């Protein structure tokens, strides 16, 4: 049995970052086209509510199915060898495939009832359209449910190429469907294209899966120790996610009673910020998780603490800069990107306001997931359950308190507070696995990154304000180029100052990059003649 060639952490990070950047480009195209065609309308409100189902499936099942796969594989391999570990993965994959089929069928049949539960503020016409959209999403339900655990199977073997570039297919599907069918089928074309694109993405993941024959051959059985360990880790994750799903549906149910276009603005803001947060999270969290699991399984506390801290510091630096620049450019970015066709100035203002709150929320969520990977590397799924439950209860309480005075902004603020609280509590409880010196360095790096990013964000905002006063950078392409130029200059300053300050996380990444280049250069040289 030949094992796939392992890709290094730096190589994997570069692949995933490149693939996700390309996918973000297509994602921006999708948002531009959907905003121009549908704006913040009743139909788009229906789409965004139905899209909540996709978010819910991914959050409630897909991400949870991924988490125990990697530590299960490494522990089984350490204890019983590669063959035993592959057998465990094979049994787990069969069970997940059956679950995904049943879940998709249930979603298809129960679509109308689901809408009656989560959209009390919709009239009959909106409820009917939302039901059709959910049924289209049900067609891609298998892909929505299984793509994260299948990505995890690739990660077990340190293979990142397919999971880096295949997500592009979901955005290509949405763009193609809207371009050819939006005039006839309206927003249904977006849901259909998105769903079919996701299916194509999932099929590519399955086709290029390492050890595909061993892993995808249907096989049932519960007596395997790896399967038992997997489900034992999984059950507490479901409990924690149940509270997150309750908060999600409370948020959407309250939002359906707000003015027309509110759900649309919320959907645009959420998708824009997820493009950024998932980019950085994928680049760091995806690649570093199998490293965490491998170190935890081999019982190397000092090495684990160092790698965890450097990964967390790097993530905090990149996220601090990303968050500051998004907040600084929120309104001009939304205006340049979306304000045309059916999308008007009022939609821009509301979407930009929500984008500010969701930036804080999802930057905190991205850092929290890095910490969560640390818990999961040690097989600890219970502590995050308690912390997430408490944080989501606080968020739900704030939803009801803040919606009356602040409307949809109150729901976004509640989410920002809840995610930030969960991040802080999780680090405090996980800190026993982090050496005291590393904890001090983590806090110091976070402080430096936030202060420097805030200063540069303010300067970016001022520069754009001056450009607008002089009526520079008008139109989509000039506007995006102007925003990109400001972000690039600010980024060079940000990382240049960090390098001058010799921040350990950045120095570590640069050293690894130098070694990687030297290794590639050495491998590229022709052998010496004998």
**Does residue 362 sit within a domain?**
no
Predicted confidence (pLDDT) at residue 376 exceeds the cutoff of 90: no
pLDDT of res. 512: 61
Q: Which residue has 């910490």 as its token pair? A: 371
Predicted confidence (pLDDT) at residue 273 exceeds the cutoff of 80: yes
**Does residue 373 sit within a domain?**
no
pLDDT of res. 528: 41
pLDDT of res. 506: 78
On average, the pLDDT of the chain sits at 83
pLDDT of res. 3: 54
Structure tokens, 157: 């073997």
Structure tokens, 449: 């990154």
pLDDT of res. 214: 86
Average pLDDT rounded to a whole number, residues 6-14: 59
Predicted confidence (pLDDT) at residue 527 exceeds the cutoff of 50: no
Q: How far apart, in Å, do the first and last CA atoms of the chain sit?
A: 34
* Number of H-type helices and E-type strands within the chain: 23, 0
**Does residue 270 sit within a domain?**
no
Q: Report H helices in 58-186.
A: 63-66, 69-80, 82-109, 111-118, 124-139, 141-156, 161-165, 168-185
pLDDT of res. 131: 93
Domains: count for the chain: 1
Average pLDDT rounded to a whole number, residues 389-417: 93
Interatomic CA distance for residues 404 and 428, integer angstroms: 33
3-state secondary structure 354-405: HHHHHHHHHHHHHHHHHHHHHHHHCCCCHHHHHHHHHHHHHHHHHHHHHHHH
Q: Which domain holds residue 38?
A: 1-237
Count CA atoms closer than 13 A to 365's CA, side-chain side: 23
Average pLDDT rounded to a whole number, residues 291-295: 67
Q: Which residue has 């787990």 as its token pair? A: 92
Identify which of 465, 475, 357, 461 has the alpha carbon closest to the alpha carbon of residue 32: 475
Identify which of 54, 476, 35, 416 has the alpha carbon closest to the alpha carbon of residue 261: 35
Radius of gyration of the chain (CA): 23
The percentage of the chain sitting over the pLDDT mark of 70, rounded to a whole number, equals 87
Predicted confidence (pLDDT) at residue 510 exceeds the cutoff of 80: no
Q: Which residue has 């970052």 as its token pair? A: 17
Interatomic CA distance for residues 121 and 145, integer angstroms: 28
How far is the CA of 34 from the CAs of 31, 166, 179, 479, in angstroms? 5, 22, 10, 19
Environment class of residue 184 by beta-carbon count within 10 Å: exposed (0-12), middle (13-18) or buried (19+)? exposed
**Does residue 134 sit within a domain?**
yes
Residue 530's pLDDT band, with cuts at 50, 70 and 90, is very low
pLDDT of res. 67: 74
pLDDT of res. 286: 55
pLDDT of res. 427: 92
Cβ atoms of 203 and 142 within 8 Å: the answer is: no
Q: What share of the chain is helix, strand, coil (3-state, %, to 5)?
A: 85, 0, 15
Interatomic CA distance for residues 177 and 482, integer angstroms: 30
Cβ atoms of 89 and 226 within 8 Å: the answer is: yes
Residue 173's pLDDT band, with cuts at 50, 70 and 90, is very high
CA diameter of the chain: 82
pLDDT in tens, 144-162: 888 888 988 888 887 888 8
Residue 39's pLDDT band, with cuts at 50, 70 and 90, is confident
Structure tokens, 432: 């026993």
pLDDT of res. 68: 83
The percentage of the chain sitting over the pLDDT mark of 90, rounded to a whole number, equals 28
**Does residue 294 sit within a domain?**
no
pLDDT in tens, 203-242: 999 999 988 888 888 887 767 888 888 888 777 777 767 7
Predicted confidence (pLDDT) at residue 429 exceeds the cutoff of 90: yes
pLDDT of res. 21: 74
Provide the sign of the torsion angle of the four alpha carbons 492, 494, 499, 505, taken in this order.
Answer: negative
pLDDT in tens, 298-347: 777 788 888 788 888 888 888 899 889 999 999 988 888 888 888 888 88
Identify which of 485, 47, 28, 451 has the alpha carbon closest to the alpha carbon of residue 263: 47
Angle between helices 436-469 and 301-328 (to 10 degrees): 20
**Does residue 316 sit within a domain?**
no
**Does residue 176 sit within a domain?**
yes
**Does residue 99 sit within a domain?**
yes
Question: What's the distance, CA 182 to chain centroid?
Answer: 27
Predicted confidence (pLDDT) at residue 401 exceeds the cutoff of 60: yes
pLDDT of res. 483: 87
Residue 63's pLDDT band, with cuts at 50, 70 and 90, is confident
Q: When comparing pLDDT for 271 and 62, which is higher?
A: 271
Count CB neighbours of 301 within 10 A: 12
Average pLDDT rounded to a whole number, residues 370-387: 82
Interatomic CA distance for residues 157 and 34, integer angstroms: 38
What is this structure's pTM?
A: 0.70
Contacts of 462 (CB under 8 A, 6+ apart): none
pLDDT of res. 289: 59
pLDDT of res. 222: 66
């Amino acid at each position: 049995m030949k094992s796939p060639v392992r890709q290094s952490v730096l190589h994997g990070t570069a692949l995933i970052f490149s693939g996700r950047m390309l996918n973000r480009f297509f994602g921006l195209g999708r948002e531009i086209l959907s905003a121009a065609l549908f704006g913040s309308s009743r139909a788009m409100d229906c789409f965004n509510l139905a899209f909540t189902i996709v978010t819910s499936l991914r959050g409630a099942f897909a991400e949870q199915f991924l988490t125990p796969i990697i530590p299960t594989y490494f522990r089984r391999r350490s204890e019983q060898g590669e063959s035993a570990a592959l057998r465990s993965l094979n049994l787990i994959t069969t069970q997940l495939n059956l679950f995904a089929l049943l879940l998709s069928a249930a979603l298809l049949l129960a679509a109308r009832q689901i809408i009656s539960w989560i959209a009390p503020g919709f009239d009959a016409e909106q409820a009917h359209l939302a039901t059709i959209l959910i049924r289209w999403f049900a067609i891609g339900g298998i892909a929505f449910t299984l793509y994260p655990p299948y990505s995890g199977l690739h990660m077990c073997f340190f293979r990142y190429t397919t999971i880096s570039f295949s997500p592009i297919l979901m955005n290509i599907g949405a763009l193609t469907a809207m371009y050819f069918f939006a005039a006839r089928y309206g927003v249904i074309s977006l849901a259909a294209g998105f769903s079919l694109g996701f299916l194509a993405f999932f099929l590519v993941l399955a086709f290029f899966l390492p050890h595909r024959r061993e892993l995808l051959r249907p096989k049932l059985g519960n007596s395997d120790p790896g399967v038992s360990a997997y489900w034992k880790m999984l059950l507490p994750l479901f409990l924690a996610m149940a509270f997150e799903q309750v908060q999600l549906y409370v948020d959407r149910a309250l939002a359906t009673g707000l003015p027309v276009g509110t759900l649309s603005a919320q959907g645009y803001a959420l998708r824009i910020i997820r493009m950024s947060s998932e980019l950085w999270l994928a680049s760091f969290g995806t690649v570093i998780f199998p490293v965490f699991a491998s170190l935890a399984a081999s019982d190397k506390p000092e090495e684990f603490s160092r790698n965890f801290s450097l990964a967390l510091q790097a993530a905090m630096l990149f996220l601090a800069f990303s968050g500051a620049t998004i907040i600084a450019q929120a309104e001009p970015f939304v205006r340049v990107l979306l304000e045309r066709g059916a999308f008007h100035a009022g939609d821009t203002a509301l979407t930009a306001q929500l984008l500010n709150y969701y930036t804080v929320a999802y930057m905190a969520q991205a850092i929290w997931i890095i910490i969560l990977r640390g818990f999961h590397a040690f097989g600890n799924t219970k502590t995050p359950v308690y912390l997430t439950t408490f944080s989501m209860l606080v968020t739900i309480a704030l939803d009801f308190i803040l919606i009356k005075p602040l409307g949809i902004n109150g729901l976004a603020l509640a989410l920002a507070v809840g995610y930030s609280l969960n991040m802080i509590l999780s680090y405090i409880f996980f800190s026993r696995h982090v050496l005291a010196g590393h904890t001090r360095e983590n806090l110091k790096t976070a402080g430096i990154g936030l202060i420097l990013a805030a200063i540069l964000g303010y300067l970016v905002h001022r520069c754009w304000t001056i450009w607008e006063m002089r009526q520079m950078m008008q139109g989509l392409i000039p506007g995006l180029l102007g925003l990109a130029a400001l972000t690039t200059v600010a980024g060079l300053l940000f990382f240049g100052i960090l390098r001058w300050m010799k921040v350990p996380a950045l120095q570590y990444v640069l050293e690894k990059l130098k070694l990687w280049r030297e290794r590639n250069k050495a491998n590229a040289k022709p052998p010496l003649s004998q």
